[in-house]
Structure formats: structure tokens, C-alpha cells
Amino acid sequence: MSYCRRGLDGSDVYIYPAVDYIVCDRCSLHGGSTHQERDAAGMLEHALEHRAAGHHVPDAAVERLRREAEPDRDADSPEERLGDWLSDRAKDGEG
């Protein structure tokens, strides 16, 4: 799922995840060529560069990049996630 689409929510940029990187499609900061960042932290910085240049990047896109760039901030630990997964699985089995 894309982070934001050009024209949607007034966005001036189109950012979407690819397999090994995150893409800023036809980036206006790079003369309309496709810009790639290796991870969410890099793309977060890039999105803020767009904002600094006066382009509109929806809050939801920036927030999502921020969450993905700093997964430890409010996400469950891997152990907790595994526990959730196991209990979900157990519930499925009962159902």
C-alpha cells in the first residue's frame, strides 16, 4: 500500500514501498526522476525535504514513515508479538 498518492489528500508526492526500498515516484526534488531510499528513516527525511521545499506531504504519510523508522517507540517487542500470534492461533483453533 502506498504511503501517499499524488493528488490524494492534496499530496504533491507519490511514495510507495518496493521490495528492498521505498520509492518517491517522479520526485520533484530530483528533476522528476524516481528517487529511492533504503528504509523508512531515509524516506522520512526525504518527505521532510519535500515539506521544506513547500510541497504538501500528508500527515498520515509522515506519521507512517515515522512509525516504521522508529519501530521501538510504541510497538510491541518481538516476544510480545509472538505471544499475540500464538494466542490468536490458539483462538483460531478453538473457533
Sign for the CA dihedral angle at 81, 86, 21, 52 comes to negative
Q: Which is nearer to Zn ion, 34 or 87 (CB)?
A: 34
Longest pairwise C-alpha distance within the chain? 56
CB of 78 to Zn ion, least distance (A): 32
In the bound state with Zn ion, the residue whose beta carbon lies nearer, of 4 and 24, is 24
CB of 50 to Zn ion, least distance (A): 6
Closest contact distance (angstroms) between CB of 27 and Zn ion is 3
Angle at which helix 40-52 crosses helix 59-69, to 10 degrees, equals 150
